[in-house]
A and B are shown apart, each in its own frame.
Chain A
Amino acid sequence: MLYREAGDFKTSYAADGQTFPIRFDRWRYYAVLAVAFGVIPFVITDYWANAVFVPFLIYAIAAIGLNILTGYCGQVSLGTGGFMAVGAYACYKLMTAFPEVSIILHVLLAGGVTAGVGILFGLPSLRIKGFYLAVATLAAQFFLVWLFNKVPWFYNYSASGQITAPERTVLGIALTGPNTSAAAKYLFCLCLCVALAWVARNLTRGAMGRKWMAIRDMDIAAEIIGVNPLTTKLSAFAVSSFFIGVAGALFFAVYLGAAEVGEAFGINKSFLVLFMIIIGGLGSIFGSFAGAAFLVLLPVFLKNVLVGALGWPTDLAAHIELMIVGGLIVVFLIAEPHGLAQLWRVAKEKLRLWPFPH
Chain B
Amino acid sequence: MKKTLTALAAAAIAAATAAPALADLVVPNLSYRTGPYAPGGIPYADGFNDYFTLLNERDGGIGGEKVVVPECETAYNTEKGVECYEATKGSGALVYNPLSTGITYQLIPKATADGISLYTPGYGRTSAANGKVFEWVFNYPANYWDAASVAVKYLLEQNGGSLKGKKIALVYHNSAYGKEPIRTLQDLSKKHGFTLIELPVDHPGQEQKSQWLQIRRDRPDHVLMWGWGVMNSVAIQEAANIRYPMENFIGVWWSGSENDVLPAGDGANGYKSLAMHGTGMDYPVYADLKKFVLDAGKASGAGDQVGSVLYSRGMYAALVISEAIRKAQEIHGTAAVTAAQVRDGFEQLEITEARMAELGLPGFGQPFKASCTDHGGPGAALIQQWDATAKKWSLVTGFIAPDDEVLTPLVMEDSAAFAKENAIAERCN
A-to-B contact residues, CB < 8 Å: 45-48, 50-51, 55, 96, 149, 158-162, 164, 166-167, 177-179, 255-260, 262-264, 266, 300-301, 303-305, 307-309, 313-315, 317-319
A96: B residues at CB distance < 8 A = 421
- Contact check, A264 vs B202: say whether CB atoms are below 8 A apart: no
A50: B residues at CB distance < 8 A = 82-83, 86
Complex Cα spacing A215 to B110, Å: 47
In the complex formed, the residue of A with least CB distance to B124 is: A160
B125 to chain A minimum Cβ distance, whole angstroms, is 7
- Contact check, B105 vs A308: say whether CB atoms are below 8 A apart: no
B18: A residues at CB distance < 8 A = 308
- Supposing A55-B79, A308-B12 touch, asked if A314 and B113 sit within 8 A by C-beta, the answer is no
Interface residues of B, CB < 8 Å — how many?
Answer: 55
- Supposing A162-B105, A164-B421, A178-B110 touch, asked if A51 and B83 sit within 8 A by C-beta, the answer is yes
Does B287 interact with chain A (Cβ within 8 Å)?
Answer: no
Q: Which chain B residues (99-128) contact chain A, with CB distance < 8 Å?
A: 101-102, 105-106, 109-110, 112-114, 125-127
A258: B residues at CB distance < 8 A = 78, 105-106, 109
Task: List the 3 shortest-distance A-B pairs measured between CB atoms, nearest first.
Answer: A308-B15, A315-B33, A178-B113
Complex Cα spacing A24 to B77, Å: 42
Does B396 interact with chain A (Cβ within 8 Å)?
Answer: no
- Supposing A179-B113, A257-B106 touch, asked if A160 and B31 sit within 8 A by C-beta, the answer is no
Does B331 interact with chain A (Cβ within 8 Å)?
Answer: no
Could you pull out 25 A-B pairs where Cβ atoms are within 8 angstroms?
Answer: A47-B90, A50-B82, A51-B82, A159-B179, A159-B183, A160-B101, A160-B176, A161-B175, A161-B179, A164-B105, A166-B422, A179-B113, A256-B106, A257-B110, A258-B105, A259-B78, A260-B175, A301-B12, A303-B73, A304-B16, A308-B11, A309-B14, A313-B301, A315-B301, A318-B73
B373 to chain A minimum Cβ distance, whole angstroms, is 20
Q: Known pairs A45-B90, A160-B176, A263-B77. 16 more at Cβ < 8 A?
A: A50-B83, A160-B179, A258-B106, A259-B78, A260-B105, A262-B175, A262-B202, A263-B175, A305-B15, A308-B16, A308-B18, A314-B33, A314-B71, A314-B72, A315-B42, A315-B73
Most buried by B among A266, A315, A317: A315
Most buried by B among A48, A162, A300, A317: A162
B200: A residues at CB distance < 8 A = 149
- Contact check, A159 vs B414: say whether CB atoms are below 8 A apart: yes
Does B89 interact with chain A (Cβ within 8 Å)?
Answer: yes
B56: A residues at CB distance < 8 A = none
In the complex formed, the residue of A with least CB distance to B38 is: A315
Does B34 interact with chain A (Cβ within 8 Å)?
Answer: yes
Q: Which chain B residues (63-83) contact chain A, with CB distance < 8 Å?
A: 71-73, 75, 77-79, 82-83
A17 to chain B minimum Cβ distance, whole angstroms, is 36
Does B359 interact with chain A (Cβ within 8 Å)?
Answer: no
Complex Cα spacing A319 to B35, Å: 9
B86: A residues at CB distance < 8 A = 46-47, 50-51
- Contact check, A262 vs B203: say whether CB atoms are below 8 A apart: yes
Does B87 interact with chain A (Cβ within 8 Å)?
Answer: yes
- Supposing A159-B414, A160-B180 touch, asked if A262 and B174 sit within 8 A by C-beta, the answer is yes
B8: A residues at CB distance < 8 A = 301, 305
Q: Which chain B residues (1-30) contact chain A, with CB distance < 8 Å?
A: 8-9, 11-12, 14-18
- Contact check, B78 vs A256: say whether CB atoms are below 8 A apart: yes
B87 to chain A minimum Cβ distance, whole angstroms, is 6
In the complex formed, the residue of A with least CB distance to B176 is: A160
B179: A residues at CB distance < 8 A = 159-161
